Amino acid sequence: MVTYILNHEVEKVHGLYFTRDTQTPLNFYKFYPGDPDKDGKPPRLWVSIKAERLQHYVADNGENLQAFATDCIRELYPDIDKRIRETVVQYNGYITPEFPTGQIRRVSEFLATQEAGPKNIYYVGDYLSGAGTGCSCAIGRRTGRLVARHWQE
């Protein structure tokens, strides 16, 4: 994944996720607003490359991944170069989200079962919400609230 720190404001979160059938090397791109003075986060753009394309760059220590991602996003936003203040390249294969067919449905059904009533075991982890630490923390908070609700008596 390539994260671009932007030098202009982003009004709201927006982006696009691509299906496997789409003829693009991208998984998704997403713009995020930020307010460095308020929340410490600058406006940014995330660009995620599909695993089959990313493996070439992982094998090459991430070399040229930034140029490749920028070329891809430039097709959608031709003036992106003048909006980029800084770039952060993350090229480890394990951070590339892959969603097997039916995964979202299975996770949704599993979470519905978990939320139905008190359990002896509650499951948390990025595999239930999305790739990365932030998603792990989010599902942990959600499950913590669920446990409190189930066992409030």
Rounded to whole angstroms, the Cα distance separating 138 from 146 reads 12
Q: 37-61: buried (b, 16+ CB within 10 Å) or exposed (e) per residue?
A: eeeeebbbbbbbbbeebbeebbeee
Answer with the residue of higher pLDDT: 132 or 122.
Answer: 122
Q: How many CA atoms lie within 13 A of 130 on its CB side?
A: 6
Q: How confident is the model at residue 62 (pLDDT cuts 50, 70, 90)?
A: low
Q: Output phi, psi for 46, to 5 deg.
A: -105, 135
Asked if 25 and 73 touch (Cβ cutoff 8 Å), the reply is: no
Q: What percent of the chain has pLDDT over 90?
A: 31
> What is this structure's pTM?
0.59
